């Protein structure tokens, strides 16, 4: 039988590195997950955002892509936004949230966007972190992104 092995350095104390390992492994070994990664890469550039992350309902990162250049002070805010989105996606599932998306402010110049996508019996979430001044540009293109993303996600469920 043919099989693939992936080695990657991580630590049981660094939850983000473990989540990244799982996400990376999925994108390398599965064609549809690779297609998802390519879509995120395309839209990180189009939105000029810092990150695009797709979570499942348990907060597991299914796929992620980050801007090539992330300043050190922004990186810390980015990690905080991921934690905030994990907390918020749990609240969106447990409470009766009226909307499927929300914006929040991170630090001085960043905003984050969390959007719930309902497919079949599942809820998936997409997280976008960007500079606040780019919100208008993002809003012009987000519906196209969500349509393309939903089509790919349908094939994964």
Residue 49 in any domain: the answer is yes
Nearest in space to 19 (alpha carbons), one of 51, 48, 67: 51
Residue 84 in any domain: the answer is yes
How would you label 92-107 residue by residue, b for 16+ Cβ within 10 Å and e otherwise?
A: beeeeeeeebeeeebe
pLDDT interval class at 20 (50, 70, 90): low
Residue 121 in any domain: the answer is yes
User: In the 8-state DSSP scheme, what is residue 74?
Assistant: H
Dig out the tokens for 6 from the structure.
């992936």
Residue 8 in any domain: the answer is no
List the domain range (segments joined by +) for residue 86: 15-156
- Check pLDDT > 80 for residue 103: yes
Residue 9 in any domain: the answer is no
**What pLDDT sits at residue 138?**
95
Residue 75 in any domain: the answer is yes
Residue 47 in any domain: the answer is yes
pLDDT interval class at 142 (50, 70, 90): very high
Count of structural domains, the chain: 1
**What pLDDT sits at residue 111?**
92
**What pLDDT sits at residue 89?**
78
Q: pLDDT, tens digit, for every residue of 41-64?
A: 999 999 999 999 998 888 888 888
Residue 6 in any domain: the answer is no
Which CATH number does the domain housing residue 78 bear?
A: 3.30.450.30
Please answer whether residues 41 and 63 qualify as being in contact, where contact means their C-beta atoms are separated by less than 8 angstroms.
Answer: no
């Amino acid at each position: 039988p043919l099989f693939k092995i992936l080695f990657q350095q991580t630590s049981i104390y660094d939850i983000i590195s473990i989540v990244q390992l799982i996400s990376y492994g999925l994108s390398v070994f599965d064609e549809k997950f690779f297609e998802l990664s390519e879509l995120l890469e395309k839209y990180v550039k189009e939105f000029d955002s810092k990150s695009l992350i797709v979570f499942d309902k348990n907060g597991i990162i299914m796929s992620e892509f980050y801007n090539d250049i992330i300043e050190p002070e922004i990186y810390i805010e980015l990690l905080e936004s991921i934690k905030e989105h994990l907390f918020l996606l749990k609240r969106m599932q447990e409470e009766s949230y009226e909307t499927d998306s929300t914006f929040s402010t991170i630090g001085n110049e960043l905003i984050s966007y969390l959007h719930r996508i309902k497919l079949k019996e599942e809820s998936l979430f997409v997280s976008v972190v960007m500079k606040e001044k780019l919100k208008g540009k993002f809003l012009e293109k987000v519906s196209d992104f969500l349509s393309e993303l939903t089509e790919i996600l349908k094939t994964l469920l």
